[in-house]
Amino acid sequence: MTKPSRRTIVTGGAGFLGSHLCERLIARGDHVTCVDDFSTGSEANIRHLLHNPRFAVIRQDVNLTLRLEADEIYNLACPASPVQYQNDPVQTVKTNVHGAINMLDLARATGAKIFQASTSEVYGDPEVHPQTEDYWGFVNPIGVRSCYDEGKRCAETLFFDYWRQYGVKIKVSRIFNTYGPRMHPQDGRVVSNFIVQALQNKDITIYGDGAQTRSFCYVSDLIDGILSFMDGDEAFIGPVNLGNPDEISVRDLAERICRMTGGTSGIIYKDLPGDDPRRRRPSIALAREKLGWQPTIHLDDGLAATIAYFRQVLFPPLGPG
C-alpha cells in the first residue's frame, strides 16, 4: 500500500536553508507549500521548483494568520544573519514570537507535527564549551543581537508550553553556523563575506583579532539532521544541537578561503561588534545518540562547492552572442 504524500509547510522556504529543505521534501514525495514574504528570501532559490505540481508558494508574512491543512510544519521564517536581523529588530522579534504563535496555533488546529529552527545564538557568548543542550546560555537581553537571540529563546519557550499545555507535537533544534550554495552574497555572514571579498580580490575583513572560533556545517548535512529528527522517535522533541563540531578560528578560515580562491586578498582587522561570541562549537553527542546523525562533509569540500556557487553568482557566464 502506497503511503500518502505528506502535506508540508515550510515557512521561510525561499531562504538559504528553507529552499534546500523544500527541495529535499519534494524529492521524497511531499506536497510542499513555501510561505515566505521574500524580505530576505529569494525567488531565485526556488525557481527550479516553481513548475513542480507538488510545490506551491504563498507570499505572506508569518505574523499574519495562515489557514492551511498540514501534516508537518517547518518553521524557518526569520532573518538569520546579523546584518539582516538588525536591520529591523522589532520585526525580527515579531517574526520570532508572533510568527511562532501563528504556526503553533496552526499545528494545534490541524494536528500537524511542527519543527522549530532555533539557533546556537540561544547560548549567547557561552561560558560552557562545547555547548550542550542542558546549558541555559549567557545572553545579553538588551544588546544589538538580542532581537534575534532572545526572540529565538522566547520561541523555544512557546514551543514547549504549547507541547505541555496543548499536546502539540513539537521538535526543536538549535542550528549552528551553516553554509553552502544559495547563501546571500550580502548577508554579512563570515563564510559568504570572506568568499565574496576573496573572489573580488578585495581585502578580507575580520572583526576583532580573528581568534574567535566558529564551527561550520555544510547545508546538506544540516538538512539530513533536520529530516532525521522529524522522522525519528516522536518522544524525542529536543532541543537538540545540529551543527559540525569541528572548530576553526575566524582568521584560519579567512586564510583557507584565500588559498582556495587563489586571489590576492589581504586581511584587515576592524573592531568586534557588540555581544559577538568568542567561541562557538556544538556538542552533538545527543544527535549522535538519538538520531544516529553526524556531519560527513569536510570543510574544504563544502567551501569548494560554496566558492563555485559564488563564482557563478558574481561572474555569470556570458550568453550566446
**Distance from the Cα of residue 230 to its chain's centroid:** 16
Q: Give the helix/strand (H/E) hosting 311.
A: helix 299-314
Residue owning grid cell 561550520:
216
DSSP 8-state class, residue 122: G
- In whole angstroms, give the CA distance from residue 62 to residue 18: 14
* Beta bridge pairs of residue 75: 11, 116
281 exposed, middle or buried (CB, 10 Å; 0-12, 13-18, 19+)? Answer: buried
Residue of 74, 85, 123, 148 marked catalytic: 148
Q: What amino acid occupies position 302? A: G
- Known catalytic membership, residue 135: no
- Whether a cis peptide bond, with omega within 30° of 0, leads into 130 is yes
Helix axes 190-199, 299-314, angle to 10 degrees: 60
Cβ contact 102:116 at 8 Å: no
- β-strand pairing of 178-179 with 7-11: unpaired
Cell 504563498 belongs to: 58
DSSP at 73? E
Give CA separation, 269 vs 209, 220, 255, 257, in Å: 7, 32, 13, 16
Cell of 45: 532559490
| Coil/strand/helix, residue 157 | helix
Catalytic positions are 148
